[in-house]
Amino acid sequence: MRILVLGGDGFCGWPSALHLSACGHHVTIVDNGVRRRIDEELGVRSLTPIRSLSERIEAWAEVTGRRIAMIDLDVARNYDELVELLAAERPDAIVHFAEQRAAPYSMKSPQHKRYTIDNNLTGTHNVLAAVVQVGVDTHLVHLGTMGVYGYESAPVDLPEGYLTVTYPDRDGNSHSREILYPTQPGSVYHLTKSLDQLLFQFYARNDGLRITDLHQGIVWGTQTEETALDVRLINRFDYDGDYGTVLNRFLAQSAIGYPLTVHGTGGQTRAFINIRDTVRCIRLAIESGSRVSGRVRVMNQITETHRISDLADLVSSITGASIERVANPRAEADKNLLSARNDHLLGLGLNPTRLETGLLEESVDIAQKYADRIDTGRVPCTSYWNETRRAAATRREEEPRPSPRSTK
């Protein structure tokens, strides 16, 4: 299949592009490099030394003999070029990773909120409008998030995107219909993913576009079969307070003897997936695209759920790291229960990678190998959801706290 991977230079996009290419698909990466510029803005870098996109692609060709094309294009701003690209490529599928994806970054300041809204919503809408304008029969696979459901301890296994509601009409007769599961976004970033869903609903109904929205859990891990083939293919590993995902942060923190920073009580339960399963899910979603017609197909791209304090305990038991509870910068419930269905992807053949020691150790090894690249000043999360959270954190800062074993 001919596949465009929008955002193919990122943490999920790069290993997905390699996996699709390894499976014989014809892959073109579209990326404007903004994620690398955000590293510069934040004064941080990937824990792993990632090569430039062109070096990565050259290395892939050298190691496997497979070619990936690359196009520098901003999907939110270069609409005409996007239309030209679709007309020239006529892809069978488009995977859309090209969004600002960090909740803390989206909450840093009014500028960051506005950038996240502008980039994510305009980008998504441009893709949809361009597909209609060009008239190409393609299947759009979008990366959404489990965060659209909110974290409210609903007494149900979260369904995959839709909820059946029953309501009485004015004569008292009962009716049922399926609606998008009511969203409860916990940040401006999550808000963009909630709004993306409405764009998809409209374009599927109005223009008959074939769309799959993957509600992905928090991704952990670094390497996949393909990125491990050569050091020049290594995947990004974010450990900083804005972009680091919770488990990867714990693994990096433990590698340098920094306490595992648990936000609040640690009673928050979240859904997780290993990066190796992410790339398989993307392929399964694409290869089953002919089954998508009519309403948007929503699949929960998760393999398990865990309480944050349990994850900290697990990492601590493997690595001996200490645990520090810090004031929660986010406005969220102290604790919640979470259980969600993932029948769609299991039905397509996903064989989940469970959180097990082997893979955790692999990530700790990587973190230890590159520990000298960690800037401990970038580890704490300093994005606060509101002034109350900032004030609570400032009060905690004034209390004595254990210092990291090594600092840079």
Ligand X SMILES: NC(=O)c1ccc[n+]([C@@H]2O[C@H](COP(=O)([O-])OP(=O)(O)OC[C@H]3O[C@@H](n4cnc5c(N)ncnc54)[C@H](O)[C@@H]3O)[C@@H](O)[C@H]2O)c1
Q: Is 349 exposed, middle or buried (0-12, 13-18, 19+ CB in 10 A)?
A: exposed
Backbone φ, ψ for residue 324 (5° rounding) = -125, 125
Q: Kind and range of the H or E element at 263?
A: strand 260-263
E-strand ranges in 159-254 read 162-168, 174-180, 210-216, 218-220
Closer residue to ligand X (CB): 93 or 327: 93
Classify the phi-psi angles of 99: left when phi > 0, otherwise alpha if psi is within -120 to 50, otherwise beta: beta
Token reading at 268: 């928050």
Closer residue to ligand X (CB): 300 or 309: 300
- Asked whether 6 and 75 are in contact (CB, 8 A), the reply is yes
269-274 vs 304-307, strand pairing mode:
antiparallel
- Asked whether 66 and 226 are in contact (CB, 8 A), the reply is no
E-strand ranges in 9-157 read 26-30, 69-71, 93-96, 139-145
Token reading at 6: 């929008």
On the CB side of 228, CA atoms within 13 Å amount to: 10
Shortest-Cβ-distance residue relative to ligand X: 10
Token reading at 19: 């996996």
Q: Shortest gap between Cβ of 209 and ligand X (angstroms)?
A: 18
- Asked whether 319 and 364 are in contact (CB, 8 A), the reply is yes
How far apart CA 52 and CA 104 sit, in angstroms, is 25
Q: How far is CA 262 from CA 29, 309, 315, 326, 371, in A?
A: 36, 7, 12, 6, 20
As annotated, the active-site residues are 145, 189, 193
Token reading at 275: 């990066």
Q: How far is CA 337 from CA 59, 245, 267, in A?
A: 44, 19, 9
- Asked whether 68 and 233 are in contact (CB, 8 A), the reply is no
On the CB side of 68, CA atoms within 13 Å amount to: 37
Q: Which residues bind ligand X (CB under 6 A)?
A: 7, 9-13, 31-35, 74-76, 97-99, 101, 119, 123, 143, 145, 216, 218-219, 236, 245
